[in-house]
Amino acid sequence: MKWHVIFSITLLLLVFLTAGCTSGPSESKSQVSEEVTPADKTVQEEENEVVPVKEKTSSDSETSRDDDRYYYNIKIISPSDLENMKNEITSDEYPITNDQGDLIGIVSPRKLYIRGDLVELQKGEGKSGKTFDKTDVAEHLVDIIFGNDNPKLNLFKSNKDYQFWMDAFYTTDDTKFLLDLAPVLNSLSDTTQFEDEELALGFLKTNYEDVPYNFYNIKIIPQKMLDDYKDDRKTDERLIKNPDGDLIGMVGNDHLYLLDSLSTEERHYYMLYGILYSMGMHGTTYSEKDSFFYQVGETRNNELSDLDKEAIKLLYGGRLKSGIEMEETKKTLGLET
The tens digit of pLDDT for each residue in 198-228 reads 999 987 766 656 778 899 999 999 999 999 9
HSE toward the beta carbon, residue 225, CA cutoff 13 A: 11
Q: Is the dihedral of CA 62, 66, 69, 72 positive or negative?
A: positive
The predicted-structure confidence for 297-308, as pLDDT tens digits, reads as follows: 777 899 999 999
Using DSSP's 3-state secondary structure scheme, residue 163 falls into strand
pLDDT on residue 113: 87
Q: Are 157 and 321 in contact (CB under 8 A)?
A: no
Closest CA to 180 of 96, 78, 305, 252: 78
pLDDT on residue 169: 86
Name the E strands within 47-175.
73-77, 94-97, 103-108, 111-115, 162-168
pLDDT on residue 296: 79
pLDDT on residue 108: 87
pLDDT on residue 33: 43
Going by their DSSP bridges, the two strands 94-97 and 103-108 should be labelled as antiparallel
Question: Which segments of the chain have a pLDDT < 70?
Answer: 1-70, 99-100, 120, 122-130, 148, 205-209
Q: How far apart are alpha carbons 245 and 224 in whole angstroms?
A: 17
Q: Output the CA–CA distances (angstroms, integers) from residue 215 to 77, 172, 225, in the order listed.
A: 23, 19, 21
pLDDT on residue 267: 95
pLDDT on residue 36: 45
- The number of beta carbons lying within 10 Å of the beta carbon of residue 238 is 18
pLDDT on residue 23: 45
The CATH 3.40.390 portion of the chain extends over 120-333
**Looking at domain 120-333, which of 3.40.390, 1.25.40, 3.30.200, 1.10.150 is its CATH number?**
3.40.390
pLDDT on residue 93: 87
